[in-house]
Amino acid sequence: MRHTLRAVEGIEAGREYDLNRDEILVGRALACHIVLNDLAVSRTHARLVLEDDAYTIEDLGSRFHTYVNDKRITGRLRLTDGDQVKIADSLFLFRSCPPDVSEKTDDAALTILQSVDARSIADTVLKVNAEAKLRAILQITRALGRTLELEAVLSQMLDGLFEIFPLADRALVLLVDGNRLIPKAVKHRRDWQESVQYSRTIVQQAIDRRQAILSEDAVVDERFTQAQSIADFQIRSMMCVPLLSQEMSPLGVIQLDAQRRDAKFSTDDMILLTSVAAQASVSVEYAQLHKVRLKQAKLEREMDIAQDVQRNFLPRTTPEVKGYDFWGYYLAAGKVGGDYYDFVRLPNGNQAVLLGDVSGKGVPAALMMAKASAVCRVALVSAGDNVAEAIREINNEICHASTGGTFLTLVLCVVNPKTHEITLANAGHMSPMFRRADGSVEEPAESNIRGLPLGIVRDSPYKTASTTLAAGESVVLFSDGISEAASPEDELYSVERVAEQLRRMGGRRAAEIGQALLQDVRRHAAGCEQNDDISLVVFRRNPAQATRPRQGRAATVGPGLT
Protein backbone atom coordinates (compact mmCIF):
# COMPACT_ATOMS: atom_id res chain seq x y z
CA MET A 1 0.00 0.00 0.00
CA ARG A 2 1.03 3.58 -0.59
CA HIS A 3 0.55 5.83 2.42
CA THR A 4 0.46 9.64 2.26
CA LEU A 5 -0.24 12.64 4.46
CA ARG A 6 -1.64 15.60 2.56
CA ALA A 7 -1.80 18.98 4.27
CA VAL A 8 -5.23 20.48 3.66
CA GLU A 9 -4.87 23.38 6.12
CA GLY A 10 -1.99 25.20 7.73
CA ILE A 11 1.40 26.50 6.65
CA GLU A 12 2.06 23.53 4.34
CA ALA A 13 -1.44 23.42 2.82
CA GLY A 14 -1.43 21.62 -0.52
CA ARG A 15 1.74 19.65 0.14
CA GLU A 16 1.68 15.85 0.10
CA TYR A 17 4.13 13.70 2.05
CA ASP A 18 4.90 10.14 1.00
CA LEU A 19 5.21 7.97 4.11
CA ASN A 20 7.99 5.57 3.15
CA ARG A 21 9.93 5.06 6.39
CA ASP A 22 9.45 2.71 9.30
CA GLU A 23 9.44 5.71 11.63
CA ILE A 24 8.53 9.32 10.77
CA LEU A 25 8.90 12.25 13.15
CA VAL A 26 6.70 15.34 12.84
CA GLY A 27 7.68 18.58 14.54
CA ARG A 28 9.33 21.97 14.42
CA ALA A 29 12.91 20.70 14.64
CA LEU A 30 14.84 20.55 11.38
CA ALA A 31 15.81 16.96 12.15
CA CYS A 32 12.18 15.86 11.80
CA HIS A 33 11.06 14.14 8.62
CA ILE A 34 8.01 16.43 8.36
CA VAL A 35 8.97 19.92 9.50
CA LEU A 36 6.22 22.38 10.51
CA ASN A 37 7.57 25.88 11.08
CA ASP A 38 4.90 26.87 13.59
CA LEU A 39 5.59 28.03 17.15
CA ALA A 40 2.57 26.06 18.37
CA VAL A 41 4.21 22.84 17.14
CA SER A 42 6.65 21.16 19.53
CA ARG A 43 10.18 20.40 18.39
CA THR A 44 9.29 16.69 18.17
CA HIS A 45 5.50 16.71 18.21
CA ALA A 46 4.33 13.30 16.96
CA ARG A 47 5.64 10.02 15.55
CA LEU A 48 4.27 7.69 12.88
CA VAL A 49 5.39 4.05 12.95
CA LEU A 50 4.88 1.46 10.18
CA GLU A 51 3.52 -1.84 11.48
CA ASP A 52 2.16 -4.63 9.24
CA ASP A 53 1.82 -2.28 6.26
CA ALA A 54 -0.21 0.20 8.33
CA TYR A 55 0.81 3.34 10.19
CA THR A 56 0.18 4.16 13.82
CA ILE A 57 0.53 7.65 15.27
CA GLU A 58 1.39 8.77 18.78
CA ASP A 59 1.87 12.14 20.44
CA LEU A 60 5.33 12.74 21.93
CA GLY A 61 4.23 14.81 24.91
CA SER A 62 3.58 17.96 22.86
CA ARG A 63 2.24 21.07 24.52
CA PHE A 64 -0.86 21.36 22.31
CA HIS A 65 -1.39 17.62 21.69
CA THR A 66 -2.26 15.67 18.53
CA TYR A 67 -5.79 14.98 17.32
CA VAL A 68 -7.21 12.37 14.95
CA ASN A 69 -10.72 13.01 13.69
CA ASP A 70 -11.11 15.80 16.27
CA LYS A 71 -10.23 13.50 19.20
CA ARG A 72 -7.06 13.91 21.25
CA ILE A 73 -4.95 10.77 21.04
CA THR A 74 -3.32 9.04 23.98
CA GLY A 75 -0.91 6.23 23.26
CA ARG A 76 -0.66 4.74 19.76
CA LEU A 77 -3.54 4.92 17.31
CA ARG A 78 -3.78 2.98 14.05
CA LEU A 79 -4.56 5.27 11.10
CA THR A 80 -7.09 4.28 8.47
CA ASP A 81 -7.77 5.74 5.04
CA GLY A 82 -9.44 9.15 5.29
CA ASP A 83 -8.40 9.93 8.87
CA GLN A 84 -7.81 13.60 9.66
CA VAL A 85 -4.70 14.38 11.71
CA LYS A 86 -4.60 17.76 13.48
CA ILE A 87 -1.27 19.20 14.71
CA ALA A 88 -1.56 22.80 15.94
CA ASP A 89 -2.96 24.80 12.98
CA SER A 90 -2.09 22.13 10.43
CA LEU A 91 -4.66 19.58 9.28
CA PHE A 92 -3.57 16.49 7.34
CA LEU A 93 -5.57 13.90 5.43
CA PHE A 94 -4.15 10.37 5.73
CA ARG A 95 -4.63 8.21 2.65
CA SER A 96 -3.79 4.58 1.88
CA CYS A 97 -4.07 3.27 -1.67
CA PRO A 98 -2.57 0.55 -3.87
CA PRO A 99 0.91 1.46 -5.13
CA ASP A 100 0.39 0.95 -8.87
CA VAL A 101 -1.59 4.06 -9.78
CA SER A 102 -1.17 5.36 -13.34
CA GLU A 103 -1.57 8.81 -14.78
CA LYS A 104 -1.98 9.72 -18.43
CA THR A 105 -3.29 12.54 -20.56
CA ASP A 106 -4.72 12.82 -24.03
CA ASP A 107 -5.15 15.62 -26.56
CA ALA A 108 -8.46 16.68 -25.04
CA ALA A 109 -6.82 18.76 -22.27
CA LEU A 110 -7.75 16.36 -19.47
CA THR A 111 -7.09 16.93 -15.80
CA ILE A 112 -5.50 13.81 -14.27
CA LEU A 113 -6.68 12.35 -10.99
CA GLN A 114 -5.08 9.67 -8.89
CA SER A 115 -7.09 6.58 -8.12
CA VAL A 116 -8.04 5.53 -4.62
CA ASP A 117 -9.23 2.18 -3.28
CA ALA A 118 -11.76 0.72 -5.70
CA ARG A 119 -15.08 -0.69 -4.63
CA SER A 120 -16.52 -3.58 -6.60
CA ILE A 121 -20.14 -4.54 -7.08
CA ALA A 122 -21.94 -7.16 -9.12
CA ASP A 123 -22.28 -6.49 -12.84
CA THR A 124 -26.03 -6.66 -12.58
CA VAL A 125 -27.88 -3.40 -12.15
CA LEU A 126 -29.18 -3.05 -8.60
CA LYS A 127 -32.46 -1.40 -7.89
CA VAL A 128 -32.63 1.07 -5.01
CA ASN A 129 -36.02 1.94 -3.60
CA ALA A 130 -37.12 5.46 -2.69
CA GLU A 131 -36.67 4.82 1.04
CA ALA A 132 -33.03 3.79 0.56
CA LYS A 133 -32.37 6.83 -1.60
CA LEU A 134 -33.90 9.15 0.98
CA ARG A 135 -31.86 7.53 3.74
CA ALA A 136 -28.65 7.95 1.71
CA ILE A 137 -29.44 11.62 1.00
CA LEU A 138 -30.03 12.28 4.70
CA GLN A 139 -26.70 10.64 5.52
CA ILE A 140 -24.96 12.83 2.95
CA THR A 141 -26.62 15.96 4.32
CA ARG A 142 -25.62 15.11 7.90
CA ALA A 143 -22.04 14.41 6.81
CA LEU A 144 -21.82 17.74 4.99
CA GLY A 145 -23.10 19.61 8.05
CA ARG A 146 -20.82 18.01 10.64
CA THR A 147 -17.47 19.45 9.60
CA LEU A 148 -15.75 22.05 7.46
CA GLU A 149 -12.94 19.71 6.39
CA LEU A 150 -13.85 19.11 2.79
CA GLU A 151 -11.75 16.17 1.61
CA ALA A 152 -13.12 13.66 4.10
CA VAL A 153 -16.70 14.93 3.76
CA LEU A 154 -16.67 14.85 -0.04
CA SER A 155 -15.30 11.33 0.01
CA GLN A 156 -18.19 10.27 2.26
CA MET A 157 -20.61 12.05 -0.06
CA LEU A 158 -19.34 10.03 -3.04
CA ASP A 159 -19.83 6.83 -1.03
CA GLY A 160 -23.43 7.91 -0.50
CA LEU A 161 -23.87 8.72 -4.19
CA PHE A 162 -22.76 5.18 -5.06
CA GLU A 163 -25.56 3.87 -2.84
CA ILE A 164 -28.12 6.16 -4.50
CA PHE A 165 -26.87 5.50 -8.05
CA PRO A 166 -25.82 1.85 -8.41
CA LEU A 167 -25.33 2.41 -12.17
CA ALA A 168 -22.42 4.78 -11.55
CA ASP A 169 -18.94 3.38 -12.21
CA ARG A 170 -17.05 6.56 -11.37
CA ALA A 171 -17.74 9.68 -9.34
CA LEU A 172 -15.61 12.71 -8.75
CA VAL A 173 -15.70 16.23 -7.34
CA LEU A 174 -13.66 19.04 -8.90
CA LEU A 175 -13.36 22.49 -7.31
CA VAL A 176 -12.42 25.74 -8.99
CA ASP A 177 -9.12 27.23 -7.83
CA GLY A 178 -8.44 30.40 -9.81
CA ASN A 179 -8.22 29.31 -13.42
CA ARG A 180 -7.73 25.65 -12.52
CA LEU A 181 -9.95 22.74 -11.62
CA ILE A 182 -8.60 20.79 -8.65
CA PRO A 183 -9.75 17.22 -7.92
CA LYS A 184 -10.95 16.99 -4.34
CA ALA A 185 -12.62 13.55 -4.19
CA VAL A 186 -12.92 10.54 -6.51
CA LYS A 187 -14.44 7.04 -6.38
CA HIS A 188 -14.78 4.14 -8.81
CA ARG A 189 -16.12 0.63 -8.57
CA ARG A 190 -13.44 -1.24 -10.46
CA ASP A 191 -11.71 -4.11 -8.70
CA TRP A 192 -8.42 -3.31 -10.44
CA GLN A 193 -6.29 -0.21 -10.51
CA GLU A 194 -6.94 2.30 -13.27
CA SER A 195 -6.38 5.97 -13.83
CA VAL A 196 -9.40 8.08 -13.02
CA GLN A 197 -9.88 10.78 -15.61
CA TYR A 198 -12.60 13.17 -16.71
CA SER A 199 -13.64 15.03 -19.83
CA ARG A 200 -12.93 18.74 -19.70
CA THR A 201 -15.51 19.20 -22.48
CA ILE A 202 -18.39 18.09 -20.26
CA VAL A 203 -17.12 19.78 -17.11
CA GLN A 204 -16.45 23.10 -18.81
CA GLN A 205 -19.90 23.15 -20.36
CA ALA A 206 -21.54 22.53 -16.99
CA ILE A 207 -19.48 25.35 -15.40
CA ASP A 208 -19.86 27.85 -18.24
CA ARG A 209 -23.61 27.32 -18.62
CA ARG A 210 -24.23 26.70 -14.91
CA GLN A 211 -26.51 23.87 -15.91
CA ALA A 212 -26.72 20.20 -14.97
CA ILE A 213 -25.88 17.92 -17.90
CA LEU A 214 -27.40 14.49 -18.51
CA SER A 215 -26.43 12.26 -21.40
CA GLU A 216 -27.88 8.78 -21.75
CA ASP A 217 -25.16 7.83 -24.24
CA ALA A 218 -22.33 10.40 -24.35
CA VAL A 219 -20.48 8.54 -27.12
CA VAL A 220 -23.20 9.35 -29.66
CA ASP A 221 -24.45 12.56 -28.02
CA GLU A 222 -24.18 15.29 -30.67
CA ARG A 223 -23.36 17.88 -27.99
CA PHE A 224 -20.01 16.16 -27.41
CA THR A 225 -19.16 14.59 -30.78
CA GLN A 226 -15.94 16.59 -30.98
CA ALA A 227 -14.67 15.44 -27.58
CA GLN A 228 -12.25 12.60 -28.27
CA SER A 229 -11.79 12.10 -24.55
CA ILE A 230 -15.39 10.89 -24.16
CA ALA A 231 -14.82 8.08 -26.62
CA ASP A 232 -11.38 7.31 -25.22
CA PHE A 233 -12.74 6.90 -21.69
CA GLN A 234 -15.74 4.87 -22.92
CA ILE A 235 -18.20 7.12 -21.13
CA ARG A 236 -21.69 5.85 -21.87
CA SER A 237 -24.14 7.58 -19.58
CA MET A 238 -23.08 10.51 -17.45
CA MET A 239 -24.35 13.30 -15.23
CA CYS A 240 -22.39 16.46 -14.49
CA VAL A 241 -23.84 19.00 -12.07
CA PRO A 242 -22.24 22.37 -11.19
CA LEU A 243 -21.61 23.46 -7.63
CA LEU A 244 -22.74 27.09 -7.36
CA SER A 245 -22.25 29.70 -4.66
CA GLN A 246 -25.10 31.79 -3.28
CA GLU A 247 -24.17 34.41 -5.90
CA MET A 248 -24.33 31.67 -8.56
CA SER A 249 -20.59 31.72 -9.13
CA PRO A 250 -19.17 28.31 -10.08
CA LEU A 251 -17.39 26.50 -7.24
CA GLY A 252 -16.82 23.25 -9.12
CA VAL A 253 -18.72 20.17 -10.32
CA ILE A 254 -19.89 16.71 -9.31
CA GLN A 255 -19.69 14.17 -12.13
CA LEU A 256 -20.97 10.60 -12.25
CA ASP A 257 -20.54 8.36 -15.25
CA ALA A 258 -21.29 4.79 -16.27
CA GLN A 259 -19.35 2.70 -18.78
CA ARG A 260 -21.71 -0.24 -19.29
CA ARG A 261 -23.84 -0.17 -22.44
CA ASP A 262 -27.02 -1.00 -20.55
CA ALA A 263 -26.47 1.66 -17.87
CA LYS A 264 -28.43 4.87 -18.44
CA PHE A 265 -29.12 7.66 -15.97
CA SER A 266 -32.58 9.23 -16.02
CA THR A 267 -33.91 12.76 -15.63
CA ASP A 268 -35.01 11.86 -12.10
CA ASP A 269 -31.43 10.83 -11.37
CA MET A 270 -30.14 14.20 -12.56
CA ILE A 271 -32.69 16.08 -10.42
CA LEU A 272 -31.66 14.02 -7.41
CA LEU A 273 -27.95 14.71 -8.02
CA THR A 274 -28.71 18.42 -8.43
CA SER A 275 -30.33 18.40 -4.99
CA VAL A 276 -27.23 16.81 -3.45
CA ALA A 277 -25.06 19.34 -5.29
CA ALA A 278 -27.03 22.22 -3.78
CA GLN A 279 -26.28 20.91 -0.28
CA ALA A 280 -22.64 20.32 -1.18
CA SER A 281 -22.32 23.85 -2.60
CA VAL A 282 -23.25 25.37 0.76
CA SER A 283 -20.67 23.21 2.55
CA VAL A 284 -17.97 24.02 -0.01
CA GLU A 285 -18.60 27.75 0.26
CA TYR A 286 -18.62 27.70 4.06
CA ALA A 287 -15.46 25.61 4.13
CA GLN A 288 -13.69 28.04 1.83
CA LEU A 289 -14.76 30.96 4.02
CA HIS A 290 -13.62 29.01 7.07
CA LYS A 291 -10.20 28.46 5.48
CA VAL A 292 -9.90 32.19 4.71
CA ARG A 293 -10.78 33.03 8.31
CA LEU A 294 -8.19 30.57 9.61
CA LYS A 295 -5.56 32.18 7.41
CA GLN A 296 -6.61 35.61 8.61
CA ALA A 297 -6.45 34.48 12.24
CA LYS A 298 -2.98 33.03 11.66
CA LEU A 299 -1.86 36.27 10.02
CA GLU A 300 -3.22 38.26 12.95
CA ARG A 301 -1.29 36.08 15.39
CA GLU A 302 1.86 36.57 13.36
CA MET A 303 1.26 40.33 13.28
CA ASP A 304 0.84 40.32 17.05
CA ILE A 305 4.26 38.65 17.32
CA ALA A 306 5.74 41.16 14.86
CA GLN A 307 4.22 43.95 16.93
CA ASP A 308 5.95 42.67 20.07
CA VAL A 309 9.25 42.34 18.19
CA GLN A 310 9.01 45.90 16.89
CA ARG A 311 8.16 47.22 20.34
CA ASN A 312 11.42 45.71 21.57
CA PHE A 313 13.36 47.79 19.04
CA LEU A 314 12.01 50.99 20.57
CA PRO A 315 13.59 52.50 23.71
CA ARG A 316 12.16 51.10 26.92
CA THR A 317 13.16 54.17 28.94
CA THR A 318 14.34 57.68 28.25
CA PRO A 319 17.99 58.67 28.90
CA GLU A 320 19.25 59.96 32.23
CA VAL A 321 21.44 62.92 31.32
CA LYS A 322 22.35 65.57 33.89
CA GLY A 323 20.56 68.81 33.11
CA TYR A 324 18.28 67.29 30.44
CA ASP A 325 14.79 65.85 30.18
CA PHE A 326 13.73 63.40 27.40
CA TRP A 327 10.40 61.98 26.20
CA GLY A 328 9.41 59.76 23.25
CA TYR A 329 6.19 58.48 21.69
CA TYR A 330 5.33 56.03 18.89
CA LEU A 331 2.00 54.96 17.37
CA ALA A 332 1.82 52.79 14.27
CA ALA A 333 -1.02 53.28 11.79
CA GLY A 334 -1.44 49.48 11.73
CA LYS A 335 -0.13 46.60 13.80
CA VAL A 336 3.42 47.49 12.81
CA GLY A 337 4.91 50.49 11.09
CA GLY A 338 7.99 52.11 9.63
CA ASP A 339 8.61 55.07 11.94
CA TYR A 340 11.62 54.84 14.18
CA TYR A 341 13.17 56.73 17.06
CA ASP A 342 16.01 55.90 19.41
CA PHE A 343 18.30 57.25 22.12
CA VAL A 344 21.95 56.15 21.84
CA ARG A 345 24.58 56.96 24.47
CA LEU A 346 27.91 57.43 22.69
CA PRO A 347 31.32 56.36 24.06
CA ASN A 348 32.40 60.00 24.55
CA GLY A 349 29.43 60.64 26.85
CA ASN A 350 27.33 62.49 24.28
CA GLN A 351 23.68 61.56 23.77
CA ALA A 352 22.34 60.85 20.27
CA VAL A 353 18.65 61.35 19.53
CA LEU A 354 17.31 59.90 16.26
CA LEU A 355 13.98 59.89 14.50
CA GLY A 356 13.31 58.31 11.12
CA ASP A 357 10.51 57.41 8.74
CA VAL A 358 10.69 54.46 6.33
CA SER A 359 8.78 54.91 3.07
CA GLY A 360 5.58 52.89 3.05
CA LYS A 361 3.79 51.22 5.94
CA GLY A 362 3.17 47.78 7.35
CA VAL A 363 5.49 44.78 7.42
CA PRO A 364 7.99 45.87 4.70
CA ALA A 365 8.47 49.22 6.43
CA ALA A 366 8.77 47.52 9.83
CA LEU A 367 11.49 45.20 8.53
CA MET A 368 13.48 48.15 7.21
CA MET A 369 12.92 49.93 10.51
CA ALA A 370 14.45 46.97 12.35
CA LYS A 371 17.45 47.06 10.02
CA ALA A 372 17.86 50.81 10.53
CA SER A 373 17.74 50.42 14.30
CA ALA A 374 20.75 48.09 14.33
CA VAL A 375 22.69 49.96 11.64
CA CYS A 376 22.32 53.36 13.33
CA ARG A 377 23.57 52.13 16.67
CA VAL A 378 26.65 50.48 15.18
CA ALA A 379 27.52 53.44 12.94
CA LEU A 380 27.11 56.07 15.67
CA VAL A 381 29.21 54.17 18.19
CA SER A 382 31.92 53.44 15.58
CA ALA A 383 32.17 56.94 14.06
CA GLY A 384 33.03 58.77 17.27
CA ASP A 385 32.58 62.55 16.88
CA ASN A 386 32.23 62.40 13.08
CA VAL A 387 28.46 62.62 12.73
CA ALA A 388 28.54 63.17 8.94
CA GLU A 389 30.58 60.00 8.48
CA ALA A 390 28.13 58.06 10.65
CA ILE A 391 25.22 59.16 8.43
CA ARG A 392 27.19 58.22 5.30
CA GLU A 393 27.83 54.72 6.67
CA ILE A 394 24.18 54.33 7.63
CA ASN A 395 23.15 55.37 4.11
CA ASN A 396 25.46 52.81 2.49
CA GLU A 397 24.07 50.02 4.67
CA ILE A 398 20.48 51.02 3.91
CA CYS A 399 21.33 51.16 0.18
CA HIS A 400 22.62 47.61 0.42
CA ALA A 401 19.49 46.38 2.24
CA SER A 402 16.90 48.39 0.32
CA THR A 403 14.74 46.74 -2.34
CA GLY A 404 11.93 48.02 -4.49
CA GLY A 405 12.63 51.72 -3.95
CA THR A 406 12.36 51.66 -0.16
CA PHE A 407 14.16 54.52 1.56
CA LEU A 408 14.45 56.10 5.00
CA THR A 409 14.38 59.73 6.07
CA LEU A 410 16.32 60.39 9.25
CA VAL A 411 17.15 63.34 11.47
CA LEU A 412 19.86 63.17 14.13
CA CYS A 413 20.69 65.37 17.10
CA VAL A 414 23.85 64.71 19.14
CA VAL A 415 23.75 66.43 22.53
CA ASN A 416 26.96 67.35 24.33
CA PRO A 417 25.74 67.66 27.94
CA LYS A 418 28.93 69.50 29.00
CA THR A 419 28.99 72.27 26.37
CA HIS A 420 25.27 72.04 25.52
CA GLU A 421 26.20 72.03 21.84
CA ILE A 422 23.74 70.22 19.57
CA THR A 423 25.15 68.72 16.36
CA LEU A 424 22.51 68.05 13.70
CA ALA A 425 22.40 65.95 10.54
CA ASN A 426 19.43 65.54 8.23
CA ALA A 427 18.79 62.85 5.59
CA GLY A 428 15.66 64.08 3.83
CA HIS A 429 13.57 64.61 6.97
CA MET A 430 11.86 67.65 8.49
CA SER A 431 14.14 69.73 10.65
CA PRO A 432 13.87 69.45 14.42
CA MET A 433 12.18 72.51 15.92
CA PHE A 434 14.05 74.45 18.59
CA ARG A 435 11.97 76.50 20.97
CA ARG A 436 14.18 79.29 22.22
CA ALA A 437 13.97 81.04 25.57
CA ASP A 438 12.32 84.10 23.98
CA GLY A 439 9.49 81.95 22.54
CA SER A 440 10.76 81.91 18.97
CA VAL A 441 10.96 78.63 17.01
CA GLU A 442 13.92 77.76 14.76
CA GLU A 443 14.46 74.96 12.23
CA PRO A 444 18.27 74.81 11.94
CA ALA A 445 18.44 71.56 9.92
CA GLU A 446 16.39 72.60 6.91
CA SER A 447 17.68 73.10 3.34
CA ASN A 448 21.11 74.27 4.49
CA ILE A 449 22.14 70.75 5.57
CA ARG A 450 19.32 68.51 4.37
CA GLY A 451 20.72 65.62 2.29
CA LEU A 452 19.12 62.81 0.34
CA PRO A 453 17.03 60.21 2.17
CA LEU A 454 18.95 57.09 3.14
CA GLY A 455 18.90 54.17 0.71
CA ILE A 456 18.83 56.12 -2.57
CA VAL A 457 22.46 56.84 -3.60
CA ARG A 458 25.53 55.16 -2.16
CA ASP A 459 28.29 57.39 -0.72
CA SER A 460 25.99 60.41 -0.81
CA PRO A 461 27.63 63.25 1.19
CA TYR A 462 25.96 64.68 4.29
CA LYS A 463 26.58 67.93 6.14
CA THR A 464 26.18 68.84 9.78
CA ALA A 465 25.24 72.00 11.65
CA SER A 466 25.72 73.00 15.27
CA THR A 467 23.79 75.17 17.66
CA THR A 468 23.69 75.72 21.40
CA LEU A 469 20.75 74.91 23.62
CA ALA A 470 20.24 77.38 26.45
CA ALA A 471 18.65 76.58 29.79
CA GLY A 472 14.88 76.11 29.48
CA GLU A 473 15.00 75.61 25.71
CA SER A 474 13.52 72.51 24.09
CA VAL A 475 13.77 70.52 20.86
CA VAL A 476 10.98 68.62 19.04
CA LEU A 477 11.56 65.87 16.44
CA PHE A 478 8.50 64.49 14.64
CA SER A 479 7.41 62.40 11.67
CA ASP A 480 4.90 63.35 8.99
CA GLY A 481 2.25 61.37 10.84
CA ILE A 482 2.05 64.53 12.98
CA SER A 483 2.29 67.23 10.31
CA GLU A 484 0.06 65.39 7.81
CA ALA A 485 -2.68 64.25 10.20
CA ALA A 486 -5.94 65.01 8.39
CA SER A 487 -9.11 66.62 9.74
CA PRO A 488 -12.66 65.62 8.68
CA GLU A 489 -12.39 68.47 6.13
CA ASP A 490 -9.18 66.82 4.81
CA GLU A 491 -7.00 69.67 6.05
CA LEU A 492 -3.48 68.70 7.16
CA TYR A 493 -2.20 69.56 10.61
CA SER A 494 0.93 71.12 8.99
CA VAL A 495 4.46 71.92 10.10
CA GLU A 496 3.37 75.50 10.74
CA ARG A 497 0.85 74.38 13.35
CA VAL A 498 3.54 72.35 15.11
CA ALA A 499 5.63 75.52 15.37
CA GLU A 500 2.62 77.55 16.50
CA GLN A 501 1.86 75.13 19.33
CA LEU A 502 5.49 74.98 20.37
CA ARG A 503 5.67 78.75 20.76
CA ARG A 504 2.96 78.54 23.44
CA MET A 505 4.74 75.95 25.56
CA GLY A 506 7.28 77.93 27.51
CA GLY A 507 8.45 76.49 30.82
CA ARG A 508 7.02 73.00 30.22
CA ARG A 509 8.84 69.74 30.69
CA ALA A 510 9.53 67.46 27.70
CA ALA A 511 6.65 65.08 28.49
CA GLU A 512 4.22 67.98 28.94
CA ILE A 513 5.20 69.46 25.57
CA GLY A 514 4.84 66.12 23.80
CA GLN A 515 1.49 65.26 25.36
CA ALA A 516 0.07 68.73 24.67
CA LEU A 517 1.13 68.49 21.03
CA LEU A 518 -0.48 65.04 20.67
CA GLN A 519 -3.71 66.31 22.22
CA ASP A 520 -3.84 69.13 19.70
CA VAL A 521 -3.25 66.67 16.83
CA ARG A 522 -6.14 64.53 18.11
CA ARG A 523 -8.41 67.58 18.33
CA HIS A 524 -7.52 68.42 14.74
CA ALA A 525 -8.15 64.85 13.50
CA ALA A 526 -11.47 64.72 15.36
CA GLY A 527 -11.69 60.93 15.21
CA CYS A 528 -10.50 60.54 11.61
CA GLU A 529 -8.61 57.35 10.84
CA GLN A 530 -4.85 57.54 11.34
CA ASN A 531 -3.27 57.12 7.91
CA ASP A 532 0.40 57.22 8.84
CA ASP A 533 2.69 56.20 11.67
CA ILE A 534 3.33 58.82 14.34
CA SER A 535 6.67 59.37 16.05
CA LEU A 536 7.41 62.25 18.38
CA VAL A 537 10.51 62.96 20.49
CA VAL A 538 11.00 65.95 22.78
CA PHE A 539 14.04 66.85 24.83
CA ARG A 540 14.73 69.94 26.93
CA ARG A 541 17.63 71.49 28.71
CA ASN A 542 16.34 72.01 32.20
CA PRO A 543 16.21 75.51 33.72
CA ALA A 544 19.32 76.53 35.66
CA GLN A 545 17.80 75.75 39.07
CA ALA A 546 17.06 72.13 38.04
CA THR A 547 20.52 70.68 37.53
CA ARG A 548 19.93 67.08 38.64
CA PRO A 549 19.05 64.63 35.85
CA ARG A 550 15.47 63.49 35.84
CA GLN A 551 15.13 59.76 36.42
CA GLY A 552 14.65 57.98 33.08
CA ARG A 553 10.95 57.37 32.56
CA ALA A 554 9.36 54.70 30.40
CA ALA A 555 9.14 55.69 26.76
CA THR A 556 5.54 56.04 25.61
CA VAL A 557 4.14 53.57 23.11
CA GLY A 558 0.78 54.41 21.59
CA PRO A 559 -2.29 52.14 21.49
CA GLY A 560 -1.07 50.65 18.23
CA LEU A 561 1.73 48.86 20.09
CA THR A 562 0.32 48.12 23.52
DSSP lists the bridge partners of residue 243 as: 252
Which range of 98-102, 314-318, 347-351, 550-554 scores highest in mean pLDDT? It is 347-351
| DSSP H or E run through 218 | none
Reported confidence tier of residue 473, pLDDT bands at 50, 70, 90 = very high
Predicted confidence (pLDDT) per residue in 263-318, tens digit = 788 888 888 888 888 888 888 888 778 777 877 777 777 777 777 776 777 888 89
235 or 265: which carries more pLDDT confidence? 265
d(CA 1, CA 97): 5
Alpha-carbon torsion (459, 463, 469, 473), positive or negative: negative
Reported confidence tier of residue 228, pLDDT bands at 50, 70, 90 = very low
Q: Which residues of 506-524 are buried (b: 16+ CB within 10 A; e: fewer)?
A: eebbbbbbbbbbbebbeeb
Q: Is the pLDDT of residue 451 over 50?
A: yes
Q: Is the pLDDT of residue 345 over 90?
A: yes
* 554 CB-contact burial (10 Å; exposed 0-12 / middle 13-18 / buried 19+): exposed
Domains defined along the chain, listed by start: 3-96 (2.60.200.20), 111-219+232-290 (3.30.450.40), 315-541 (3.60.40.10)
Reported confidence tier of residue 461, pLDDT bands at 50, 70, 90 = very high
Residues 6 or more apart whose Cβ sits within 8 Å of residue 523: none
* Cβ count near 105 (within 10 Å): 12
What pLDDT does residue 507 have?
83
Query: Contact at 8 Å (CB) between 203 and 195?
Result: no
DSSP lists the bridge partners of residue 94 as: 5
* 419 CB-contact burial (10 Å; exposed 0-12 / middle 13-18 / buried 19+): exposed
Mean residue pLDDT across the chain: 80
132 or 253: which carries more pLDDT confidence? 253
Predicted confidence (pLDDT) per residue in 383-432, tens digit = 878 999 999 999 998 888 876 678 889 999 999 999 999 999 999 999 99
| CA–centroid distance for 491 within its chain | 34
What pLDDT does residue 515 have?
95
Query: Contact at 8 Å (CB) between 82 and 95?
Result: yes
**Among candidates 107, 64, 553, which has minimal Cα distance to 343?**
553
Reported confidence tier of residue 130, pLDDT bands at 50, 70, 90 = low
d(CA 267, CA 253): 18
Q: Is the pLDDT of residue 190 over 90?
A: no
Q: Is the pLDDT of residue 73 over 90?
A: yes
Q: What is the mean pLDDT of residues 129-144?
A: 64
- The amino acid sitting at 545 is Q
Ramachandran sector of residue 88 (left: φ over 0; alpha: ψ -120 to 50; beta: rest): left
Q: Which residues of 398-417 are buried (b: 16+ CB within 10 A; e: fewer)?
A: bbeebeeebbbbbbbbbbbb
* pLDDT-wise least confident of 212-221, 339-348, 356-365: 212-221
Reported confidence tier of residue 550, pLDDT bands at 50, 70, 90 = low
Contacts of 498-505 with CB under 8 Å at 24 or more apart are 498/433, 499/433, 499/441, 499/443, 502/433, 502/435, 502/441, 502/474, 502/476, 503/435, 503/439, 503/440, 503/441, 505/435, 505/474
Reported confidence tier of residue 523, pLDDT bands at 50, 70, 90 = very high
Q: What is the mean pLDDT of residues 127-143?
A: 62
402 or 168: which carries more pLDDT confidence? 168
What pLDDT does residue 119 have?
26
What pLDDT does residue 113 have?
27
Reported confidence tier of residue 177, pLDDT bands at 50, 70, 90 = confident
Q: Is the pLDDT of residue 231 over 50?
A: no
Residues 6 or more apart whose Cβ sits within 8 Å of residue 312: none
Reported confidence tier of residue 147, pLDDT bands at 50, 70, 90 = low
Predicted confidence (pLDDT) per residue in 359-376, tens digit = 877 777 778 888 888 889
Q: What is the mean pLDDT of residues 447-458?
A: 89
Alpha-carbon torsion (82, 246, 274, 171), positive or negative: negative
What pLDDT does residue 428 have?
92
What pLDDT does residue 196 have?
57
Q: Is the pLDDT of residue 167 over 70?
A: yes
Q: Outline where 110-197 has alpha helix (H).
A: 130-146, 150-164
In the chain, the percentage of residues whose pLDDT exceeds 90 is 36
